[in-house]
A and B are shown apart, each in its own frame.
Chain A
C-alpha cells in the first residue's frame, strides 16, 4: 500500500458538493481520508505543500481514441493513459473505433486489461453500438457492460439508421448506459472536409453544413423522447445544436452533451493556409457557434468538456488538406486551453470549469470520481494556475503530435495527478 499523502494548504474545489476552500487533503489507503484545516500527517505520511495551487477531483474525459488495437504506432492504451494523467485526467472513456472494432466482450476486456497493466488513468471502454460499427446489427451490450463497458457508441461514424438508433436507445435502458452518438447526416456530410461557409468557399474545400449535425441532433432527441433512453451527443459544434438541446432539456428529454476545447476556442479561420491540424470532424465552425457553445456550457445545456483526443501519425497529417485524416489530440492541452480561454476569459468560474471537466462528465457516464468527499476513491489532480507556459507538442507524452495549439501561451498546468491515491504524474 502507498504511503499516506497529505496535500497541505491548497484551494480544494469539489463541485460535487459546492466546496471551494483552502484546506488540507489527506489521502490514505487509496481514499480521501480527510479534508480540513490543520490536518495532522499520520505516521509515515508524505507531506506536500500545495499552497497557491488547486486541489480538485481528477478530470474525466468521456471521449478519447487510443488506437489500440490496430494503430499502436499512433497511440496505445498505455501512452494514452500517460497523456491523460499528464493532463490531470484520472479517468477516460475510449471509443470503440479500433481495428478490430471493440464490439464484443473479449475486445472490451482487452481494453480493461491494458488499462490495468498501464496503471495510470482509468481507461473505461465504450462498446460499439453495432457489430463492426457497420450500422446494421446491434452489438451485445449486455456482455460488453459485463466486461466493463460504460457506454456504447459508433463514434467516428453516425448511427445512420434511425431504426437502429431507436433500438439501441431502447435496449441500452436495461443496462442503464448512454448511447453516445456522433451526429452527422451522411448524405449532407459526404466528402466534406471543413465547415461550409465563406472560408471553405475561398479555400475551395468541400464544406460540411451545420445542418448535417443538427438534423441528427434533432433526430436523436426525438428518439430519446420516444424511447426514454439516454442519448449522449458527442462533440457538439453548432449554435443550432445548442438550441435543439436546450429545448429538449426543457422537455426533460434524457440527453447529455459534450463539447471539445477546440470547438470552444477555434473557428474555421484556423483552416486558412490548409493547416491540417485544423481538420477535424465535426469541423471548426464560426465565431457565433463558439459563442453559443460557451453559453451552452454556462447554462448547463452542454454538460461537459471532452477532448475527442484523436491521435494521428505525423506523416498522415503532413498532406494536402483533402488527404489528411480528421482529428487532433487534446488530453495534455485541455485544461490549459480551457482555463485560459474560459476562466481567464470570464466565461466560467474555476469551480464551474472543474465541474464541466470532472464532476459532470463522471455523472453523465455514471463513473466513480468527479468528487472529493471523505471516503471517495482518491482520484485527484493538483492544478497550478499561477504561471503561463507554452504548449510544445514535442514534449507530449502522447505518441502523436497533432495539436493545433502548439506554440500557444496558456495558463493552467497540472502539477500532480493521483489515481486511487497513487501518484501517477508529478512535477515537483
Chain B
C-alpha cells in the first residue's frame, strides 16, 4: 500500500502518485465540513501539537479545524508566551514534546529545514506548516485541489506564480507539485525577487505581467511582504502595483477563462486589485475551504489511515 512516510516536509520528495493520493483522499473529507455535525472519529485518541514559531492565522486555524473534525486532541503552542521565547532550542522543544508522548506535530518555523530537523529527531509524525523560505506543502496541495476542482485536471495546464518567488515557500511547493502533476509552470515578478537558477527547475520566467496573463490558465498571486520594500528589493508598493499588479484591465486582455488564486493574506491594491480578488475569476475562498479537507487528508494518511477507507472513516472506524 502506498503511504506518505512518517512526515510531510515538502512536495519535492513526494512522487506524483503520493500527491494524487492526498488529493483523492481529500475528496471524501470535503463533505464532512458541510454537515451540521462536523466531526468524524478517525483520529480519536490521537494527540496533536500545533507548534507555531511564526505568527499564522489562516493556516493554524485550518489545521486546528482539520484536527478537531477528525476528533484528535490538540494543543496549540505559539512562540510568544512559551519556553521558545525564553531561548529554548528547537532540539529541546522537540525532546520535551516527545517526552509527553504526542502523536503528531504541525510545525511552522522561520528557518528553512526546521520541519525536517524536527522530523529527524522525534518519532512522532511531523507536518510542515511552512518552514522559512523552503516549503509549505499543505498550501500547495490545497492549491492543486482547487485547480483540479476548477479545471477538472492539472496536467497540461499553464500555471503562473506571480510576485516574490525568492522568499516564498508557497512558490517552491507549488513548483514541485505542479511540475510533478504535469502542469507547465511560469513565474513572474521583478528579477530582484527571483531565486538563482529557477529556470533550471523547468520553470518559465516572465518579466512582464502582461505576458504572463496572456500565457496562463491560472495565476497564483503571492502576497508581497511589505518588508521587501524596506529591504530595497522594490522601490515602492505603488510602483509594484503599477508594474506587476493583477488588475481587471490586464485580465481583460486574456483570451482564456483565467483562474485567479491567492494564498492569503492579500494586500488589496498591491499585488492584486480588489475587483479581481472579489470577481468571477477568483477561487480564493475555495482555496480556504479546500485547505481544511487537504489537512484532514494529510493528518489521516500520516496517522496510518487507509486511503480506500477514508470514505468509511467519515462514518465510524478510526485511523488504525
Interface set of A (CB-CB < 8 Å, partner B): 196-198, 200-207, 209, 273-274, 315, 318-323
Q: With A274-B116, A319-B91, A322-B132 known to touch, is A201 a contact of B195 (CB < 8 Å)? A: yes
The chain B residue sitting closest to A316, CB to CB, is B89
8 Å CB interface, B236-270 against A: none
The chain A residue sitting closest to B176, CB to CB, is A202
Choose, from B21-29, B105-113, B291-299, the stretch at the interface: B105-113
Chain B CB count within 10 A is highest, among A198, A207, A209, A320, for A320
Q: With A203-B112, A204-B112, A274-B113 known to touch, is A196 a contact of B131 (CB < 8 Å)? A: no
CB distance from A40 to the nearest CB of B (A): 61
State the CA gap A197–B197 with chains docked (Å): 6
Total residue contacts A-B, CB cutoff 8 A = 67
CB distance from B83 to the nearest CB of A (A): 16
Q: With A274-B113, A320-B114, A321-B113 known to touch, is A205 a contact of B90 (CB < 8 Å)? A: no
Chain A CB count within 10 A is highest, among B89, B110, B196, for B196
Q: With A274-B112, A321-B111 known to touch, is A201 a contact of B198 (CB < 8 Å)? A: yes
Contacts of A320 in B (CB 8 A): 90, 109, 111-114, 117
In the complex, are the beta carbons of A201 and B117 less than 8 A apart?
A: no
State the CA gap A198–B198 with chains docked (Å): 7
Contacts of A206 in B (CB 8 A): 133
State the CA gap A319–B197 with chains docked (Å): 27
Chain A CB count within 10 A is highest, among B91, B195, B201, for B195
In the complex, are the beta carbons of B91 and A318 less than 8 A apart?
A: yes
In the complex, are the beta carbons of B196 and A197 less than 8 A apart?
A: yes
CB distance from B235 to the nearest CB of A (A): 18
The number of chain B residues with a CB under 8 A from chain A is 25
8 Å CB interface, B154-177 against A: 169, 172
In the complex, are the beta carbons of A201 and B112 less than 8 A apart?
A: no
Q: With A204-B169, A321-B111 known to touch, is A274 a contact of B117 (CB < 8 Å)? A: yes
Q: Among A198, A321, A322, point to the contact of B197 (Cβ < 8 A).
A: A198
Some 16 contacts from A to B, beta carbons below 8 A apart, are: A197-B196, A198-B197, A201-B197, A203-B113, A204-B113, A204-B135, A205-B113, A207-B196, A315-B91, A318-B89, A320-B90, A320-B112, A320-B113, A321-B112, A322-B110, A322-B111
In the complex, are the beta carbons of A198 and B200 less than 8 A apart?
A: yes
Contacts of A273 in B (CB 8 A): 116
B207 at the interface (CB under 8 A from A): no
Contacts of A204 in B (CB 8 A): 112-113, 131-135, 169, 172
Other A-B pairs beyond A196-B196, A198-B197, 6, CB < 8 Å: A197-B196, A204-B113, A204-B131, A206-B133, A274-B117, A320-B117
